[in-house]
Each structure stands twice: as structure tokens, then as C-alpha cells.
Structure 1
Amino acid sequence: MKTTTDTPADEEFAALCGRVWDVLAPARAGYLAGVSPHYDEVLHEVAQRTEHAGSLGKTDIAALVVWKRFSAQTRWVTELMSLPDTQVRAVTERVVTAVHDTTISRGEAARTGRGIIAELPGFRTGDALASAILTAAAPQRMAVYDSRVQHALDTLGLTLTPAPGRYGRYLQFLDDLLGHGGQLADGWTARDIDTALYWTGGSGNPPHPAAP
């Protein structure tokens, strides 16, 4: 039976955690060696602007669409671009506040932020782009979720179901991993884990050009 990230049994999760970290550490090294150090500059710049402004605007979201290599030729993009930037920022300002709320757990903050961003076109279903927005809003606390991460979880014998609240459960799982990692987790963020999972989910095939 698989361990599930939705309802993890403490003993089962603790036993599995060491094996997961045995995969994460070399996968993170592979990611750093195989992906250009410049690739995440867009994410970092959006995160810096978000920290300064306290919200994300349409330009920031557009940059993250490119960063995640999504198609912009979709109906939701037209709907989002048709909204005034002030309306978009009013929503994302609440997202920023939610994901920075340290009075609640990382998973609950993620769940709350994910629910708020769903008010905007393009974010009602699927967690990939929404997670990029939340990660830009709180890069030291949130993490990116996508199909390669999901594949890695499946490969590691973990199940993250697509039921409502998936992103919150995913962040809670990352929080649990950090809490059970001991010295292996020193210096790691949830974002570091997501890049390691991303690399694992791609079977070590670099998705982006390597650094020269």
C-alpha cells in the first residue's frame, strides 16, 4: 500500500522519509548542475517586485506564464487581461497576506492563498500556475507544483490526490518532509524540495538548457 500525502500515518511516513531524502539530495544536486542558474531569474524578479508592492499585477502574472512555459493563446488569458490591473492586485494582495500568515501552518496558508487566487480567471482549476503565483508571493515558504512533481510523488510511493485542497496538502507534505529531514533538511526550503521533485519527475532529463 502506498503512503499518502493526504492522510499520512506517522510511523509509515517517518519510515519513508529517510528514503525520500535519499532521493531528494542527489536530485537537487542534479537540478543545480543541469539547469541554467539564470533560468529562475524571472521568478526571482517577480518575487522581488511582489515584496516591494505587496501584490502581483498582470505583468507579473504574464512573466510567470512564460517562466512556466504555458500557452498564452487561451481564453482565460483574454479574460484576465481584460480586467483592470487594480482588480487583479486587489486579489493578489490578499494572496500575499495569506501565504505570509505564520499564525497558521504552511499547509493551511497555502490552502487559503490557493482559494483566494481562484477568484481570478485561469486559476479556478489546476495548481501549476497558481502555485507559481503563491511561490512568487512567498518564495521562502511556498513551492511550485506541476505534473513532474506529481510524477515524482507517484514514483516515490506517495499519493497526492486531485481532490479539492490539493495544493494545501502538498505544502503540508513538504512541511512534514522538512520537519523529518533532520540534518539533511538543514538549509532547505520548500522550493528546494520542489525543484528536487521536479528533477526526479523528469527522470533526470534537463527541461531547460544547462549553464554554459
Structure 2
Amino acid sequence: MIPAPGQRDLVAALVDARSRYPDIEGGSSYDEVLLEVQARAERDGSIGKADIGALMLWKRLNLSTAWTRELNEWPDRKVRAVTGEAFEIARDTNSTIPEAAGAARSRLLELPGCQHGAAVSSTLLTAGAQDRMAVYDRRAVAALRVLGYADPVGRYSRYMTTVCELIETVNAATGATWVPRDVDKALLMGGS
């Protein structure tokens, strides 16, 4: 069937727009997350919360935000290589927690989304070294101010020094065995 003249413009516009979508076949890594979740859904017949979270991240990673597009264009193997190296650094018990935090954060600077601020990188590091790292974000900074601590001014290692001080204070006063993630949870709730 041959489209009518008005439909030809519509078809041409759609075909042109579709041709600009970054396809795996064309060497793009943009849809890797979606394809991975689709494969699990096909295999398992369902998806879980982690898959839903991945899909929400993929959906938010749209073509209009520079760092998100760049991250989605990175091959997953490259993302895993960078995060794997950062996790090794963060888990290194031969370094103090603040030293490891600063070095691991520096390793993530290559990764799109991790160049400015420490919110994204600290979240990644907390996932990869849950007993040594803590999430740093605006709520943590707000809670630190309420507690009378200075703003670590975007320095993840400085923030982790404060977290370690808070761990020592809480553990000494209560006999608890807090880790950085416990402080981060407390700061989240205190800064919300």
C-alpha cells in the first residue's frame, strides 16, 4: 500500500526519527539495561525490585541529559571495569576508610555522572563496599549541619572522616558496632 501524500511526510518523519535512535546493532550500548531486564523477564516470567530500579534508571537516562546519555552509551563491561577497580580500592583494609573513600571516589571520576559532587559515586561505593562506605548527599550535609559539623564541601574523604568520628562516638557511648552505613542511615533520616 502506498501512503497518501500527507502520510508520506508522517512516515518520513517517523523513519528519520527512528534512524537516530542509538541501536545495539549500530554499536550503541544505550539499551543494554533494558535488554538485560527483558532477558530475565523472559527467563523467569517476572521481574523484581532490582529490575524495576534498573528500568527506572534506564528510563531516566534519556537523550536530553548529557551525562546520562554518555553513561548509557558506555558498554556495560567498561562500567563494570571502572566500578570494579573502585570497589577494590574502597574495600582495601590496608587503607583507612577516609583514604580508601577518597581514592575510590577519584577512580570513579572517569564514569559519567561521577565528575561533579559525590552523591552518585558515594552511592555506587556504598553498594560495592557496604561495611566501609556511606552515601553522601544533600540530606547528609543538612543533618551534619544540625549536629554542628562543618560541611565537607564536596570532599568524600572529608565526609568519611566525619562519618568515622560519628561511628566512634556512637559505639563508645552505646557499645554498638556501627559501620558507615549506619551513620548514613541516621543522617538520611536526620536531614530529611
- Length-normalised TM-score, structure 2: 0.65
Q: What is the alpha-carbon distance in structure 2 between the residues aligned to residue 75 and residue 185 of structure 1? A: 47
Q: What is the alpha-carbon distance in structure 2 between the residues aligned to residue 63 and residue 144 of structure 1? A: 19
CA positional deviation for 1:104: 0.8
Letter of the 1:195 partner, please give it: K
Structure with more relative contact order (C-alpha pairs < 8 Å, separation 6 or more) = 1
Inter-CA distance 155–114: structure 2 relative to 1 (3 Å threshold): same
1:97 aligns with 2:88: yes
What's the counterpart of residue 121 of structure 1? 112
Q: What is the alpha-carbon distance in structure 1 between the residues aligned to residue 151 and residue 56 of structure 2? A: 24
Of structures 1 and 2, the larger Rg is shown by 2
Give unmatched runs, 5+ long, in structure 1.
Answer: 1-58, 203-212
1:156 aligns with 2:147: yes
What's the counterpart of residue 78 of structure 2? 87
1:179 aligns with 2:168: yes
CA positional deviation for 1:157: 1.3
CA positional deviation for 1:72: 3.0
CA positional deviation for 1:91: 0.8
What does the per-residue CA deviation read over 1:69-112, in whole Å, with 9 as the maximum and x for residues that have no partner?
Answer: x9534221110111111211111111011001111100000001
Q: What is the alpha-carbon distance in structure 1 between the residues aligned to residue 106 and residue 139 of structure 2? A: 23
Q: What is the alpha-carbon distance in structure 2 between the residues aligned to residue 155 and residue 105 of structure 1? A: 26
Q: What is the alpha-carbon distance in structure 1 between the residues aligned to residue 55 and residue 189 of structure 2? A: 19
Q: What is the alpha-carbon distance in structure 2 between the residues aligned to residue 178 and residue 64 of structure 1? A: 35
1:199 aligns with 2:185: no
> What is the percent sequence identity of the aligned residues?
39
Please give the residue correspondences for 1:1-212 in structure 2 after superposition, counting only pairs within 5 Å.
Answer: 63=54, 66=57, 71-73=60-62, 74-162=65-153, 166-181=155-170, 182-184=172-174, 186-202=176-192
Counterpart contact for 2:152–2:158, Cα < 8 Å:
no
Letter of the 2:167 partner, please give it: L
RMSD (Å), alpha carbons: 2.4
CA positional deviation for 1:183: 4.4
Q: What is the alpha-carbon distance in structure 1 between the residues aligned to residue 152 and residue 90 of structure 2? A: 22
- Length-normalised TM-score, structure 1: 0.59
Inter-CA distance 64–119: structure 2 relative to 1 (3 Å threshold): farther
Q: What is the alpha-carbon distance in structure 1 between the residues aligned to residue 131 and residue 184 of structure 2? A: 12
What's the counterpart of residue 15 of structure 1? none
Structure 1 counterpart SS, 2:110: coil
Inter-CA distance 162–185: structure 2 relative to 1 (3 Å threshold): farther
Give unmatched runs, 5+ long, in structure 2.
Answer: 1-49
Structure that is richer in helix per residue: 2
Q: What is the alpha-carbon distance in structure 2 between the residues aligned to residue 64 and residue 137 of structure 1? A: 20
Counterpart contact for 2:141–2:151, Cα < 8 Å:
yes
Letter of the 1:129 partner, please give it: V
What's the counterpart of residue 46 of structure 2? none
Q: What is the alpha-carbon distance in structure 2 between the residues aligned to residue 64 and residue 143 of structure 1? A: 24
CA positional deviation for 1:180: 3.0
Structure 2 counterpart SS, 1:87: helix
**Number of residue pairs aligned between Structure 1 and Structure 2:** 138
